[in-house]
Amino acid sequence: EPDRGMLLVAVSRDLAGRLDARSIVGELAREFEGRGGGRPDLAEAGGRSNAEGIRRALNRTGEVVLRQMEAAKG
């Protein structure tokens, strides 16, 4: 659909157990009024094609991933 934004998150095998793609995509999708799901290694989200929201999601990706990696060390 032309009025929808999509986000895909993939986690490599070497990071399995430390990162969860479902959690990452779910948190980022909220930035553009989206929802998502999938597997721990591959998840996707869709939502309103809101350029500013998608930009916010992309800008927050590093923060979300680092926080999840820190929590896994815990």
- For the segment 9-33, what is each residue's pLDDT rounded down to a tens digit? 999 999 988 999 999 999 999 999 9
At residue 3, the pLDDT reads 72
Tell me if 29 sits within 8 A of 47, measured CB to CB. Answer: yes
3-state secondary structure the chain: CCCEEEEEEECCHHHECCECHHHHHHHHHHHHCCEEEECCCEEEEEEECCHHHHHHHHHHHHHHHHHHHHHHHC
Q: Which of 43, 41, 39, 40 minimizes the C-alpha distance to 7?
A: 43
What percentage of the chain carries pLDDT values higher than 70? 97
At residue 51, the pLDDT reads 84
